[in-house]
């Protein structure tokens, strides 16, 4: 990996992480309710990833936006932590609902964003 590539990923990742931190901080997490903040950030990131995909022709834009900003913005590691916390708190139904809806809806939103991106292009 070149220094330029690493710099683009780091810059984009910083931007995406700050965006995620700000948005996720608006809704606190509790094992007694659905993890809306991380869920909405992940679903928005999935949609954005799909919508941007048709436009990713040059490596600079792809590196900065896809690996950097959206990579820093989406929070699959946060999803894993919250899922673990549900399981650790024996909230079986909430864990299943959260994991299933995140994976299924996330995939559908990538597809929908992609279709929208192709249509606009």
The pLDDT tens digits of the residues spanning 20-72 come to 999 988 998 899 999 999 999 999 999 998 898 888 888 888 899 989 999 99
Identify the residue with better confidence: 58 or 9: 9
Average pLDDT, the chain: 92
CA distance from start to end of the chain: 30
> Once rounded to an integer, what is the mean pLDDT over residues 3-16?
96
DSSP of 11-24: HHHHHHHHHHHHHH
C-alpha–C-alpha distance, residues 107 and 42, integer Å: 11
Contact of 31 with 94, CB cutoff 8 Å? yes
pTM above 0.85, yes or no: no
So what's the pLDDT on residue 47?
94
């Amino acid at each position: 990996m070149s220094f330029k590539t690493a710099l683009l990923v780091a810059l984009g990742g910083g931007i995406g992480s700050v965006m995620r931190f700000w948005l996720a901080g608006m809704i606190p997490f509790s094992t007694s309710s659905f993890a809306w903040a991380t869920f909405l950030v992940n679903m928005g990131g999935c949609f954005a990833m799909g919508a941007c995909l048709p436009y990713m022709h040059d490596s600079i834009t792809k590196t900065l936006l896809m690996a950097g900003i959206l990579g820093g913005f989406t929070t699959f590691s946060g999803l894993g932590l919250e899922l673990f916390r549900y399981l650790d708190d024996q909230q079986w139904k909430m864990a299943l609902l959260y994991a299933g809806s995140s994976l299924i809806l996330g995939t559908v939103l990538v597809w929908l964003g992609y279709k929208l991106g192709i249509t606009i292009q």
